[in-house]
Amino acid sequence: MLVSIVVPCYNSEGSVGELVDLCEEEFDRLDGYECEIILVNDYSKDRTFETIRMCAEKYSNVKGINLAKNFGQHAAIMAGLHYVSGELVVGMDDDLQNHPSQILQFIEKLNEGYDVVFGVFKERKFSWFKNLTGAVSRFFLWHLLERPKDIQMSSFWLARRFVIDKVKEYEGEQVFIQILFFRTTHNIANIEIDHYEREYGKSNYTFGKGLKLFLSCINFTALPLRLSTLFGMAFSSIGLIGALVVLIRKLLHPSIAMGWASVMCAMLVFFGIMFFMVGILGEYVGKIILNVNKTPQFVVRETLNIAEEKREKDH
């Protein structure tokens, strides 16, 4: 059975060659399975694509995709998904913190009857800041999104081909692969895996990129809009009750002076909430504009070891 391994690559010239070698060694030991590796260069600033080119020359089952600009990790994965041939598809990072030696564990779990398997790290070997922001992001995503109970998501996963084919049908500008899995199936499992130390470079995920990815989940849920309605009703009720209290106190004790400080504090709180809700609406309007304008998810500049007839249009 053919297993396609999709790897989004960004500034990873030091690790991507070793990653390919490890994948080849791993599948040489697996009976009944062979692999193809799709390496997607997300407009790296170093010699990543040159390294991908050398891997494609060394191994005929390595496909290279060079994007025309930096579209982001999930868009790069989506680009790779359009070129997979396998019945099973693996998604993993390019930094060797997701290790090819663990792919067999995913296959064994999937063979229990699941459609998607996410790896859950026993210990996250990120910086304290990335661990903190990741924990906050996961908390909100778990509560914002419709997902199977107790299922965690990660960047190391295995999925069946029918799930991938359904994910590829999504044409929105903002891509969040794991959420698209949740939209397709709830027959999902987790397995515990090791998270390896980073040996090359540093994380390319900045706070800004992480925030953009988090905000992209707005594409897939109407819950923030519902929350804005609830907040509006709640604070309107609080404001009405407060006004009645002030009015009654003034009628009972005409000499009481009205406190401007409390009024200003209340106004700041209410206006802050109002602008927050307007910001949420702005995010939705922005997403609609991008989708109406047919903003592409990715644009392929060059491919390696991909037959001409199999090349698909940019999305």
- For 74-118, the pLDDT digits (tens) are 999 999 999 999 999 999 999 999 999 999 999 999 999 999 999
The residue that leads in pLDDT, 242 or 28, is 28
Rg of the chain taking only CA atoms, in angstroms: 24
Residue 287 domain-assigned (yes or no): yes
Q: Is residue 87 part of a domain?
A: yes
Same-domain pairing of 205 and 272: no
- Does residue 159 form part of some domain? yes
Tell me the average pLDDT across 32-38.
97
What integer is the mean pLDDT of 15-30? 96
Based on the domain organization, do 209 and 259 belong to the same domain? no
**Does 130 score more than 50 pLDDT?**
yes
- Kindly state the DSSP code that residue 181 receives in the 8-state scheme: H
209, part of any domain: yes
Tell me: pLDDT of 303 over 90: yes
Same domain, 155 and 246: no
Same domain, 143 and 240: no
Tokens matching residue 239: 């404001």
Domain presence at residue 73 = yes
- Averaged over 255-281, what is the pLDDT? 68
| 162 and 281 housed in the same domain | no
209 and 227 part of one domain: no
Domain that holds residue 241: 223-292
pLDDT in tens, 218-267: 666 666 666 666 666 676 677 667 667 767 876 777 776 666 546 766 77
- On whether both 94 and 227 belong to a single domain, the answer is no
Please tell me whether residues 213 and 231 are part of one structural domain. Answer: no
In the chain, the number of structural domains is 2
Q: What is the mean pLDDT of residues 168-177?
A: 88
What's the pLDDT score for residue 203? 61
Quote the mean pLDDT of the chain.
82
CATH number of the domain to which 40 belongs: 3.90.550.10
In terms of domains, do 182 and 248 share one? no
Please indicate, yes or no, whether residues 104 and 150 belong to a single structural domain of this protein. Answer: yes
**Based on the domain organization, do 81 and 24 belong to the same domain?**
yes
- What's residue 185's pLDDT? 95
Split at pLDDT 50, 70, 90, the class of 307 is confident
| Bridge partners, 120 (sequence order) | 192
Residue whose tokens read 């998270």 = 195
Across 132-145, average pLDDT: 59
Query: Do 138 and 111 sit in the same domain of this protein?
Result: yes
For the chain, how many residues are written? 315
Please state, as a whole number, how many other Cβ atoms lie within 10 Å of the Cβ of residue 41: 30
Q: Indicate the pTM of the whole model.
A: 0.75
- The answer to whether residue 39 sits within a structural domain is yes
Task: Count CA atoms closer than 13 A to 252's CA, side-chain side.
Answer: 6
Task: Tell me: pLDDT of 36 over 50.
Answer: yes
Q: For residue 309, what pLDDT is reported?
A: 47
Q: Per the domain annotation, does 315 fall within a domain?
A: no
The token pair that represents 206 in the structure block: 């900045």
Residue 195: inside a domain, yes or no? Answer: yes
